[in-house]
């Protein structure tokens, strides 16, 4: 969470909330992280947020991960006022070559 002055006040990830590596990107971990962010914001006196969603982008996936929606829902449920929800995923104008080679990923 960064205010408009650009210094980071709160940084909480899904990996800080769950033990297993496979659960870091889960909706449950995102929900726990969002609840902690909301609690810390309330301690700092912040009541309203503008949200910027970002996926990997570039030549990788352009859709946000599985935890994005549950994190938004957790922020709204915790009593934070949500102003704008903006997608800031980087979109290439002309992409570099994707990983995987000419014949793609073979399973």
Cα–Cα distance, 44 to 26 (Å, whole number): 27
Q: What is the pLDDT of residues 20-74, one digit of tens each?
A: 999 988 999 999 999 999 999 999 999 999 999 999 999 999 999 899 999 999 9
Q: Residue 78: inside a domain, yes or no?
A: yes
Q: Is pLDDT above 80 for 12?
A: yes
Domain hosting 79: range is 14-87
- The CATH number assigned to the domain holding 28 equals 3.30.420.80
Give pTM, 2 decimals: 0.82
Domain count, the chain: 1
Q: Residue 100: inside a domain, yes or no?
A: no
- Model confidence band, residue 3 (pLDDT cutoffs 50, 70, 90): confident
Q: Which of 38, 51, 57, 34 has its CA nearest to residue 85?
A: 51
């Amino acid at each position: 969470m960064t205010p408009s002055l650009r210094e980071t006040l709160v940084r909480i990830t899904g990996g800080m909330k769950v033990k297993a590596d496979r659960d870091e990107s889960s909706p449950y971990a995102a929900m726990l992280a969002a609840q902690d962010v909301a609690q810390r914001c309330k301690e700092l006196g912040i009541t309203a947020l503008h949200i910027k969603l970002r996926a990997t982008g570039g030549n990788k996936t352009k859709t946000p991960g599985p935890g994005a929606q549950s994190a938004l829902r957790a922020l709204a449920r915790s009593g934070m006022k949500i102003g704008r929800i903006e997608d800031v995923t980087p979109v290439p104008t002309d992409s570099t070559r994707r990983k995987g080679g000419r014949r793609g990923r073979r399973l």
